[in-house]
Homo-oligomer: A and B are copies of this chain.
Amino acid sequence: MTAPPPAIVLVRPQLAENIGKAARAMLNFGLTDLRLVSPRDGWPNPAAGPAASGADIVLERARLFDSVADAVADCAHVYATTVRKRGVTKPVVRPDEAAIAVRAETGGSAFLFGPERSGLETDDVAVARTILTVPINPEFGSLNLAQAVILVAYEWSKGETLKQPPAVEIDPPAPQIELDGMIDQLDGMLQATGYFYPPDRTPVTRRTLRTLLTKPGWNSQEVRTLRGVLSTLARPRPR
């Protein structure tokens, strides 16, 4: 049994636009369980849709509650997101730690986010067992609601295997024999132009060139392209 994706609980959010932005942030990282506690301007609210930029399904499924306690009634693990520490002695975790905990434990989890201007009240925090704090520039703490939501959602999504970036097919380095062919070609051209001088420095110079041409790990196609470049340069210049 794996833990369900966590719920995002917006407590008394002020602007419907920010509810939309939070929905967008959630869906970007695979979260869909949005819960609203007493939004200031009511719910549903037409200002939320445009800000959600297509995350309509999150808004449509959003559930409305009268209290924080009701909103998290079915959750086993409640995290209160705050910037400043309150006078409450509870464990404080970062988003990455919370994401790991949410997956490791059984039972549903919820993250509480307070109103834009003031943040969560002490009574809201009291509902939570754990404080979630985003480590932020101490001289400029100005994380907005959607940004706080996206960091939590982003960290949670790291555990989803399907969210891995697609593996890119990178061609392996060309076999040595192909690289050697290119180096020999260049070497011949350089000999013809008197590059290797004085003669007693030649072994060191050759080694230097080999080292820097080996470093790239060019694939076969790239080596062919470079050999074409060299062949072109070896031709007599057009007048």
User: Footprint of B on A, CB under 8 Å?
Assistant: 24-25, 27-30, 53-55, 85, 89-92, 94, 96, 131, 133-138, 140-144, 146-147, 150-151, 154, 157-158, 161-166, 168-171, 186, 189-190, 192-195, 208-209, 212, 215-218, 222, 225-226, 228-229, 232-233, 235-238
Contact = CB atoms under 8 A, between A and B. Distances in A.
Contact of A190 (B158, B171, B217, B233): B233
Contacts of A164: 135
A186 B169 CA distance: 28
Given A90-B168, A92-B166, A131-B168, 14 more contacts: A28-B137, A28-B143, A28-B147, A55-B140, A89-B168, A89-B170, A134-B154, A135-B163, A137-B157, A137-B163, A147-B150, A192-B237, A193-B235, A236-B237
B157 A154 contact: no
A90 B190 CA distance: 31
A146 to B, nearest CB: 8
Contacts of A212: 216, 218, 222, 225-226
A194 B27 contact: no
